[in-house]
Structure 1
């Protein structure tokens, strides 16, 4: 019995150290301009140039999405996941996934952030420009 307790304590200790180390890495994440962000979950490299549609999408993203998904879609610790992540590559989450998420919300399934509510006041056309922006950021970060 005592041996089982010791093993459980060791496992808990290892898990705690892993959790602490992974959170420490997230807190030290840097955005592409080199400044530290305490809430960004990933480091995002910005493309040299955005298309016209992506520029429009960036403005809408900043107004409707960045409060949760962070600047340049880098996510925010404890709030929402980064969209600049392999999970959101086009082959796993196609453009219609983003359309449906904005219109209907999303039940939590990849991340421990909870459910995403629908985003009021966005048209399909506006979401399309946001998708263009996110996809251009993803490509600049090796996510195709």
Structure 2
């Protein structure tokens, strides 16, 4: 096998192998830590305070106290959930319809039919206020 005549084939194989390694790494090791405990807790607005109560009742079992994540679900105070990547509607749809696993290795999130629209609005306000207090703001999504 002459390298000079087969270098395009070799280059393609190397690129495919490298892509497979990167894909597997992302699958096994999702972006960043799945939990943090060093978050800043801001003074919450009245709506966010209601959201905190609803979050504790409906979401904290999986997403952790103050949305820092647990071994059952991802942190929502994480840059991957900035509004430019996960708009507010994504949270509404996740609660209403559930969501398939796509960033973290926790499995699919089931629908949460017990959470009302009003509670969802308050929960989202709470999560967004926590995010802003921790430097997570809207950035354009890049694929």
TM-score by length of structure 2 reads: 0.70
2:45 aligned with 1:45: no
Q: In the TM superposition, what is the alpha-carbon distance from 1:45 to its structure 2 partner?
A: 1.3
Which is greater in Rg?
A: 2
C-alpha offsets along residues 34-87 of structure 1, whole Å, 9 cap, x if unaligned? xxxxxx71132111x10000000000000000011000000002x100000000
Between the aligned partners of 1:125 and 1:92, the Cα distance in structure 2 is 23
| Count of equivalent residues | 106
Structural RMSD (CA): 1.6
Higher-RCO chain (CA-CA 8 Å, sequence separation at least 6): 2
Q: In the TM superposition, what is the alpha-carbon distance from 1:120 to its structure 2 partner?
A: 2.4
Between the aligned partners of 1:126 and 1:64, the Cα distance in structure 2 is 10
Deviation beyond 4 Å, 4+ runs, structure 1? none
Q: In the TM superposition, what is the alpha-carbon distance from 1:126 to its structure 2 partner?
A: 1.1
Q: Once structures 1 and 2 are overlaid, which stretch shifts more, 118-127 or 102-111?
A: 118-127
- Unaligned stretches of 5+ residues in structure 2: 1-24, 138-143
Q: Equivalent residues in 2 for 1:16-35 (5 A)? A: none
C-alpha offsets along residues 107-132 of structure 1, whole Å, 9 cap, x if unaligned? 00011110000112112221010000
2:57 aligned with 1:86: no
